[in-house]
């Protein structure tokens, strides 16, 4: 199985990227091949000027085509996900997430931003024709410490993230079983 992680934070390191690092480690322990992507893989002018032929974008689209699942993580600013992530998602083809299982993750300064996953990010992921967008995880900043080194999660967030990864794992297996029936 192959999974892409996509870090939508313009900052590095960041809390949302730390969540992806922990996800990558957990999935690799299960034998999943994980390819990390980050906004910093793209030249800002390629994103700003919608350069659909950008080498980084073409490489990501190739990785995405071969992936079974995607985990997207973003900070929440002004009650929505990162504008830089939106710019990148706008450059993907309409069916970029077709036949993919997607797990959205978000971080923010306050629980008041919790619904940004459901009302801002998920609609865009659905517009990209994701096969299955799982229930997302929102973490407030106080739940993630030492994100610039080895991240530490609050006990509650750790449990929630592990449960989400287990659900993601089972969804990937269901997808694989469906594909095996078709072939």
The structure's pTM equals: 0.95
8 A C-beta contact, residue 104 and residue 125: yes
Contact 141, 107 (CB under 8 A): yes
User: From residue 171, how far is each of 22, 131, 178 by CA, in Å?
Assistant: 19, 10, 11
List of residues 6+ apart from 173 with CB closer than 8 A: none
Per residue of the chain (183 residues), what is the pLDDT tens digit? Answer: 999 999 999 998 999 999 999 999 999 999 999 999 999 999 999 999 999 999 999 999 999 999 999 999 999 998 899 999 999 999 999 999 999 999 999 999 988 888 999 999 999 999 999 999 999 999 999 999 988 888 999 999 999 999 999 999 999 999 888 878 876
Could you give all domains of the chain from N- to C-terminal order, each with its CATH number? 2-181 (3.40.50.360)
């Amino acid at each position: 199985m192959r999974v892409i992680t996509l870090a939508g934070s313009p900052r590095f390191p960041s809390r949302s990227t730390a969540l992806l690092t922990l996800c990558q480690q957990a999935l690799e322990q299960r034998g999943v091949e994980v390819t990390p992507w980050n906004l910093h893989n793209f030249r800002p002018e390629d994103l700003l000027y919608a350069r659909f032929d950008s080498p980084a974008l073409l490489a990501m689209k190739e990785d995405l085509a071969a992936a079974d699942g995607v985990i997207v993580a973003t900070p929440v600013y002004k009650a929505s996900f990162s504008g830089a992530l939106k710019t990148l998602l706008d450059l993907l083809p309409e069916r970029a997430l077709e036949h993919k299982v997607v797990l959205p993750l978000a971080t923010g300064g306050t629980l008041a931003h919790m619904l940004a996953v459901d009302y801002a990010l998920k609609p865009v992921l659905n517009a990209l024709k994701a096969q299955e967008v799982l229930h997302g995880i929102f973490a407030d900043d106080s739940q993630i410490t030492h994100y610039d080194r080895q991240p530490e999660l609050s006990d509650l967030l750790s449990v929630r993230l592990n449960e989400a990864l287990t659900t993601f794992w089972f969804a990937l297996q269901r997808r694989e079983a469906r594909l095996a029936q078709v072939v």
